[in-house]
Structures are given as structure tokens and as C-alpha cells.
Structure 1
Amino acid sequence: MLSDVLLVSAPGKVILHGEHAVVHGKVALAVALNLRTFLQLQPHSSGKVSLNLPNIGIKRAWDVARLQLLDMSFLEQGDPTVPILEKLEKLKEVADFPEDCTDHERLAVLAFLYLYLCICRKQRALPSLDIVVWSELPPGAGLGSSAAYSVCLAAALLTLCEEIPNPLKDGEASSRWTAEDLELINKWAFQGEKVIHGNPSGVDNAVSTWGGALRYQQGKISSLKRPPALKILLINTKVPRSTKALVLNVRNRLLKFPKIVAPLLTSINAISLECERVLEEMATAVPAPEHYLALEELIDMNQHHLNALGVGHTSLDQLCQVTMAHGLHSKLTGAGGGGCGITLLRPDLTGPEVEAVKQALTGCGFDCWETSIGAPGVSVHTAASLDAPVWQALDGLCAGQWASSS
């Protein structure tokens, strides 16, 4: 079994095109967002297994001996990789939640315990270890934070138990697993997502596992040729919304105005397909200005379509107006009704120009990140390969110096 510290990261995701239309059988393009979740796993012999999630204020520990004595036959009923309600109810007993624990916290802990017990129970003894997970992704913003968490857990625990080899070779700063090993990571990460979300599509964990860009339609997921990492601004309007309510509103509008809304959905599908074509062209040739112009036009058209579907919001209108005043193009990403938007940054933009846009957006009360899409999927790292703030955060947390994230 692995004895060294293991450092793993996985990206979040944004929907580039196809929001809401995907619910009605159309194509959606999901891309890996280079805001990442980082996990540090430290094996030891203290007889404890601990989980520290500073972003949501969780710090829990369990006695390995107590877990070892549990009747874990409930994990073996039927297919052991399919969580069922009865299994989760038994896991809640194992977790021993305090009364003031929120649902969000419960689900994060249950996902960890499920993956830890299922993956590690084949060992002669359950391993003692400390896990710290720290994320650049804001939770609950539709950016795949739970999937990145599940992917990191699956990759780290499978590597710890030597179900998959550690791909990091001497002298390498970072590395990725083989396609076969990524399949296994994704399979287990999907189970973690099921614990958290009940009936997820599988898109978020697939993007976080493989990175790059994926095409999703009616349950089928396929990878696109890896395009260049496109620079974007990710903007969180911080306006809360209900994905379920927004999806229902689009469905009702389709029923009320089928001859208007059905063509809109077909047109959004065509936008996704054209974007896919442009991205694949950029992956096989040197990206040219006309590629970025096409991407900008597609962004504008899709944003207007989404407004026509009724999933826009005044905050998103303001976001688009602010960036358009600087010659940039934006759209909502995800469910809409507030939430997050993305702005494409052309390669000809200067640092001061980008900074001016960021200041204008933060002046509206929005959170803003300068990042990229098309990022690599789940990876393993040496400490030296991580940015100093990331490593210092993880190292400090593992030393018990942090109680919550900044």
C-alpha cells in the first residue's frame, strides 16, 4: 500500500453551449474549468482516518478499529458500486453526524465514507490516513465542485490501495493516469456523485476526470479533440437560483409555445454543433482571429436564445452589457436565472484591458476569476509543481493550522 503523501487535483466544469436544450435531447458542450479542487492524502499509523474540508467547515475523524468492526455486508448487496438508499441510511449511522450538521456537510461526508469503505475494504485492514480537500471552486455555483471532489477522492483512494498505479515518475512534476485507469476513477467518482445528487447525468465527473471538452447528448458522452486552453473570465453574479424551477419553466414555455420554443432549442443545438466544429478546427490548426470571432458570435447568439427561453436575469444582462462595453462577449453558463457567466478573452487582449473589465465587474458586486477552459483532467502532482498558495494551504491544513478556507 502507498506510504507517501499523495497530491491530486481535478478541474471544475462549465457548460459552453447547450444549457436547457440538453434536457430536450439536444447536444451540450461541457468544458473543464481550470479552477481546481486539490486533495492531499497522508497515510500514517495513528489508527484514525480523518477528513478536512475547510471550504465548507468540515473536520471529522473516525477510529479505524471501530470502522473495521462494522458489519460492511450492506456494501456487498447486489452490485457493490451501486449505492442504494438502504446503504446510505447505514452509512449515516457510521458517520455519527452532530445535530447541527447541514445537508451539504452530510452529503460530503457520506460520499467520502462510501468511497473509502468500498474501495479500501479489500485491504487486509482499513488504512489510517488524513485527507484534506481544498478547492478554488465556489460550492453550489453549478461549476462541478462536488464532481471534482468525488474524482479526487476516487483517484487518491484507488492509488492508495494500488487498484491503479501511481503514474508519477521520478523527475516528473505532474502526471495523468492511463485511459483504462481513468475509466475506473470515473466509475467510482460517479458513485460519489450519486451519493451527493441522487441521479446525476455523469457529465460533471466525466469532464473532471478527462478534462478538455466533452459532447453530451441523451446520456452519451464523447471527448472532443483537445482544443487550446481558451482564456475566459468566470463571473459569479451571486444571485441564487433553482435549477429545477428554471428547467420546469422552459418545459412549460415549450408546451405553451411549441412552434416558437422548439425552433429555439433546435437552433441552440446548431450553435453547439458549430462550436464543436470550430473547436476541433482549432485543435488541428493554429488558432486564427476568425476562430475567435466565430466563437464570440456563437456566444452572443446563444445568450439571446437563452433569454428567449426565459432563463436570463437582470444580473446577467448587466454582466453582458459591462463586458460588451469593453468589446468582449459573454453568456450565462449553467441553469441561468443568475448564477454564473463566462466571458471569452481573445489572445490579443493586454493585461491592463483585462484588468479594467475585471474591475468593472467586481464594481457591480460580482465575483470574478481570470482562468481558462479546456484544462487537463484529474492529475497527480509533486508538491513543487503546485502553485505556492495551493501547497501552503494544503500543507498548513494538514498541520492543523487552518480551521477554514480564506
Structure 2
Amino acid sequence: MHIKECIVSAPGKAILHGEHAVVHGKVALAVSLNLRTYLRLEANPTGKIGINLPNINTFLSFDATALQSPLPDRTADSRNAKELDVDLVARLRGFIGVTDSNSDTSTMAVLAFLYLYMSVFTESEELPGLTVTVWSELPTGAGLGSSAAFSVCLAAALLSARGAIAPPPGDLEHTARWSSEEMELINSWAFLGEKIIHGNPSGVDNAVSTWGGMLRYHAGKITPLSRVPMLRILLTNTKVPRSTKVLVAGVKEKIDKFPAVMSPVLESIDAISSMCQQTLNEMASEPMPEHYSVLEELMDINQHHLDVLGVGHPSLAALCRVTLGRGLHSKLTGAGGGGCGLTLLRPDTDPSAIHSATRELKDCGYDCWETSIGAPGVQQHSLSSVKEEVLRFLNH
């Protein structure tokens, strides 16, 4: 291996505007969350391959020599992520003893790790021993891009260990980022990890996690946006389970049933995304109070539209009611029907309003995090730059 150890991190994601409308050809804005997944890769001289995932209580070790037989085509190039090798996926499923019907979080994470590990090192004469430990500030299964952040961290660390990407320039006493070309490579490998975990992902989640900031997604085209301000938010997880597939189908049924009524709603959501993008561009130069007022009104309008589309939920209505009672504005993020919501916090928001809203939301059984959107994408860290809390888990 080209390196003996590295620590990388990548952010989660949220949809700011455009949920569901994006399925019908409208614009969506996806933003990075300053809640991150961290990965530590260490060389293992014993030849063992270890993966430690304390968030989901998964700790496994494999013998590298036992993995030689499922190796993919030796002509593959770690500098070029191609289409998913379904034969390798099937062989790895057999290796770890799982069926297609077994798709729990732990199984899919291990499968994605083994696939990327073996594909990146396919040109090596022998598979190197290494251990990866991953810990995340993101809850799993909440629609906040936890699997994408995991895949991006895996891709960055394994490509670094293989020597397919150079150490990022910058001061590694703190953090450093790779070149645009190398981040393209990280993103393409991470997308393969997402395909293993989700089957047919859009590519938005791993792109946000790779580049950070904000992305505009429209008709399959992903455009990173520059000059986006970092905004403070309160992120709330109602912990109400929902099926994205069922919710998407329900919206389509309503559009098919009432096209003359629902088409203007989708057009309005599209306009909200565009107006929000324009406002954030203006704020990058000099944020003004009126900018925050526009963002708040857009969130309120969009939340009403999402209720009209049928993806609201009493838990989300409670979130909006509680925060509005403190002068704060919220909307759902993601599929709806429960799940998570965002609350915008102005720079001058009274801390007591945030505290009282958080306390009442927790009394409802929700989880809350005060964080920000527009965080940097994938980064490499020195030991001294990583928070002590994170290191405790990475030293597991």
C-alpha cells in the first residue's frame, strides 16, 4: 500500500427544495450537512481485512487470501470506475453468506466495502491487509445521506491507499482536499458503492458528499453551485418510518388524477427552487435580513405545497407548529411522511428560542441537532484535527 494510515470524512445531505417535484422533471436543490461520517484506514501486517462499524454494532474480519478467488477481472483499472460488476457482487454475496433478500444495513455496508476494496486493489499482486473503522454523526435510514457519506469515505481512503490519488495538497496539520479531477474519481467509485446499497440511486447523495456545498439537480444533470453561504439550521428527525417508494407512487397517482390542479403546484415548487438559488447567490456576497425573510417564506410555501402533494404527516405538522411558535420556519426534507425536517436559524436567532423549541421537540420523541448546511465535501484529516469524541470511536 502507498500509505499506512489515513483519516477521511464526508458530509451528509439534505434536500432544501424540490422534493418529489424533481421526479417529475423539476429542479431540486441538495445541500451538504455539517454532520459527518469519519473513516480511519490502517495497514494490517497480519494480512487480515477488518471492518468496524460501531454505529451499527458490526465488527468483522476476513483473511485476505480467502478473498483471492472472488477477485474481479485483473485488467480493471483503479483509476477508472466503470459499471457495477454484478458477477463480483454475486460472488461476494456468496462469500459472506447472504441472499438477495437479505438487505439489512450491516450486510449492505459490508458488501459495499468488500466490493470497493477488491475492485480498487484488483491490479495488486496480492490483496493488502488493512482495517477500516467508520463512525458517523448521521443517523442511518433517515434520508440524510449516511450511506453516500460512507461510500465516499471508503472510496477516498481506498484510492489513497492504492496510490490512485495523491495525498491532497494543503496543511495536513488540519484538513486538506483533493483536486477536482481526483474528486471526480472518488465520486465515481462512491457511486458504485451507492448502487450496491440502493440499487438505482440518482447520484445526487454521493455528489453532495464528495463536493459539499449545494448541488442543483434537474433532469438527471447535477451541477455544483459555487458561492453558497453556510446557513445554520435545526435538523429534526421525527423517527417516524416511511417508505419513499410508496410516497413517490402516491404523488404520481394524485398528479394523474388531478393534472390541472397538481401541475401548477409542481411548477410553483420549481420556481421556489430557482428563487432560493438566486437568493443564496446574493447572500454569498453580503447576507441581509431580507434574504433570510425570503428563505423563510419559501420554506413555508414549499411545506404547504408538499402537504398538497400528500407527503405531509402529523409529526411534521407538529414540528412546524412548535418552531413557528418561536418565530422559526420549518419544512420537511426528503420523502416526507415522517422522516426529517429543517428549521432555518438566522444569525440573530435568540438562543432561548432554539433551546425551548428543541426541548419541546424532544418531548415529542424527536431527535434534534443544531448544525449547518453548505459544509465542505470529502476531506483528509490529521489526527490532531479530528475531534476527541470522533477519535474515541475510530480507535475502537
Cross-structure match for 1:276: 277
More displaced 10-residue stretch of structure 1: 342-351 or 260-269: 342-351
What displacement does 1:95 show?
A: 2.4
Change (3 A) 1:80 1:233: closer
- Deviation string 1:123-157 (CA, Å, 9 cap, x unpaired) is 23211111001111111110001000000000000
Cross-structure match for 2:184: 183
Cross-structure match for 1:332: 332
What displacement does 1:185 show?
A: 0.2
Find the aligned partners of 2:352 and 2:178 in 1 and give their Cα distance: 38
1:115 aligns with 2:119: no
Q: Is the 8 A contact 2:81 2:189 kept in 1?
A: no
Q: Is the 8 A contact 2:70 2:88 kept in 1?
A: no
Cross-structure match for 2:135: 134
What displacement does 1:170 show?
A: 5.3
Find the aligned partners of 2:201 and 2:187 in 1 and give their Cα distance: 13
1:4-19 alignment, distance < 5 Å: 4-19=4-19
- Deviation string 1:5-47 (CA, Å, 9 cap, x unpaired) is 2100000000000000000000000000111100000112111
Gaps of at least 5 residues in structure 2 are: none
Give the letter aligned to residue 182 of structure 2.
D
Find the aligned partners of 1:101 and 1:248 in 2 and give their Cα distance: 24
Gaps of at least 5 residues in structure 1 are: 398-406
What displacement does 1:386 show?
A: 1.4
Find the aligned partners of 1:75 and 1:193 in 2 and give their Cα distance: 23
Give the letter aligned to residue 228 of structure 2.
P
Cross-structure match for 1:304: 304
SS of equivalent residue, structure 2 residue 29: strand
SS of equivalent residue, structure 2 residue 68: helix
Change (3 A) 1:172 1:119: same
TM-score (norm: length of structure 2):
0.95
SS of equivalent residue, structure 1 residue 312: coil
Q: Is the 8 A contact 1:75 1:87 kept in 2?
A: no
1:45 aligns with 2:30: no
Cross-structure match for 2:94: 93
1:229 aligns with 2:230: yes
1:212 aligns with 2:218: no
What displacement does 1:82 show?
A: 1.5
Change (3 A) 1:80 1:349: closer
SS of equivalent residue, structure 1 residue 342: strand
Find the aligned partners of 1:316 and 1:104 in 2 and give their Cα distance: 25
- Deviation string 1:224-253 (CA, Å, 9 cap, x unpaired) is 123221000100011111100100010000
Find the aligned partners of 1:4 and 1:97 in 2 and give their Cα distance: 31
What displacement does 1:68 show?
A: 2.8
SS of equivalent residue, structure 2 residue 201: coil
Q: Is the 8 A contact 1:168 1:381 kept in 2?
A: no
1:5-404 alignment, distance < 5 Å: 5-73=5-73, 81-97=82-98, 103-167=104-168, 169=170, 172-283=173-284, 285-395=285-395, 397=396
Q: Is the 8 A contact 2:172 2:382 kept in 1?
A: no
Change (3 A) 1:92 1:170: same
Find the aligned partners of 2:73 and 2:156 in 1 and give their Cα distance: 24
Q: Is the 8 A contact 2:316 2:338 kept in 1?
A: yes
- Deviation string 1:141-192 (CA, Å, 9 cap, x unpaired) is 1000100000000000000111001115555310111000000000000000
Give the letter aligned to residue 185 of structure 2.
L
CA RMSD after TM alignment: 2.0
Change (3 A) 1:128 1:28: same
Change (3 A) 1:71 1:191: closer
Give the letter aligned to residue 280 of structure 2.
L
What displacement does 1:214 show?
A: 0.3
SS of equivalent residue, structure 2 residue 106: helix
- The share of aligned pairs that are identical, in percent, is 56
Q: Is the 8 A contact 1:226 1:374 kept in 2?
A: no
Q: How many residues align?
A: 394
SS of equivalent residue, structure 1 residue 181: helix
Give the letter aligned to residue 387 of structure 2.
D
SS of equivalent residue, structure 2 residue 7: strand
- Deviation string 1:284-337 (CA, Å, 9 cap, x unpaired) is x12111111110000000000000111100110000000000000000000000
Find the aligned partners of 1:80 and 1:172 in 2 and give their Cα distance: 30
Give the letter aligned to residue 319 of structure 1.
L
Change (3 A) 1:296 1:314: same
